[in-house]
Every structure is written in structure tokens, then in C-alpha cells.
Structure 1
Amino acid sequence: MPPSLTLIQRDDCHLCDQAWDVMAAAGVPDFDPLWIDDDLGLQARYGERIPVLRREDSGAELDWPFDVDRLRAFLA
């Protein structure tokens, strides 16, 4: 079973759109989006790093930029 994933992102983020494309190309079946626009704590933590993909099973995070190979290795 693939790990539960969260994509941490902002509204109107072209890098976030690119991350969605990479995730689709890698065959990521599902993930939960987490929008940080209205949360000052999350903005302070992730503001310069987004998009960030987080594994909910381990808490491991993959910062952008990532490609299909790096994403698959992160999920393995």
C-alpha cells in the first residue's frame, strides 16, 4: 500500500502546478493538498520551500525541485 501523502502548497503557485505534473507522471495515485495561504505558522515553516511533499507515515519531506526518479525513490 502506498504511503499517505500531503502536498504542501500555495494558491497561484506555478511550481506547485509543476509538482502536480511530476506526481502524475510518477503515477502517484492520491494525495492530500495542504494550502498554507491562511496559516501564518505554516507560512513561516514552509514559505520558501513550497511545494513540499510529505509522507504521513514517516513525516519525511521532499522539497521542490524533484523529478519522477527522485519522487519514486522518496516513495520506495
Structure 2
Amino acid sequence: MIRIILYTTAGCHLCELAEALLLQAKQQYSLTIIATEIGDNDELVARYGTTIPVIEFDNGSQLNWPFELDDIIAQIN
């Protein structure tokens, strides 16, 4: 199973779009998606506050918005 972290925050419509793409990818691959609220952590706000949504893969690679389903699948493969 592949673990993916989605860095997100409340009221972020782009984050909702990113989550929808991850759910599409989950239909094809065995994924665990962990939504992480950055607003609860000053370090995460400093790191991702202007770039969310960001997804991070098991191997440490990240995709910053904008990305498409094909970009996610390329990282999974």
C-alpha cells in the first residue's frame, strides 16, 4: 500500500480538487491518503502555507499545485 499525505487547510477549494484527484487514483491503486491540516502546526504553515495543496509520497517526493491525475500516477509508478 502506498501512503500519500495531502497537506491541506480548511476552506481551500484547490485542496478539495486535489483530494478528488487522489480519490480517482485510489480507484486504480492501493493508496492510503492522509489529509494533514497545516493550520494546526506553525512549521507546516511556514513550509506549505503558500503552496497548498501539496501531496507527499512514501519516497519523500512532492507535487505542488497545479497537478493532474497523470502527474499523481507518474509519481506512483
- TM bucket by the smaller chain? 0.7 to 0.9
Q: Is the 8 A contact 2:2 2:32 kept in 1?
A: no
Q: Could you tell me which residue of structure 2 aligns to residue 33 of structure 1?
A: 35
Task: Name whichever structure is richer in strand by fraction.
Answer: 2
d(CA) in 1 for partners of 2:56, 2:36: 10
Q: Could you tell me which residue of structure 2 aligns to residue 62 of structure 1?
A: 63
Q: Could you tell me which residue of structure 1 aligns to residue 12 of structure 2?
A: 13
**Is residue 45 of structure 2 the alignment partner of residue 46 of structure 1?**
no
Q: Using the TM superposition, give the Cα deviation of residue 26 of structure 1 relative to its aligned residue in structure 2, in angstroms.
A: 2.4
- Structure-1-length-normalised TM-score: 0.86
- Aligned to 2:40, what secondary structure does the other structure show? coil
- Structure-2-length-normalised TM-score: 0.85
**Is residue 22 of structure 2 the alignment partner of residue 23 of structure 1?**
yes
- Alignment size in residue pairs: 74
Structure 1: gaps of 5 or more residues: none
d(CA) in 2 for partners of 1:23, 1:33: 11
Task: Name whichever structure is richer in helix by fraction.
Answer: 2
- Aligned to 1:59, what secondary structure does the other structure show? coil
Read off the aligned partner of 2:36 and give its amino acid letter: L
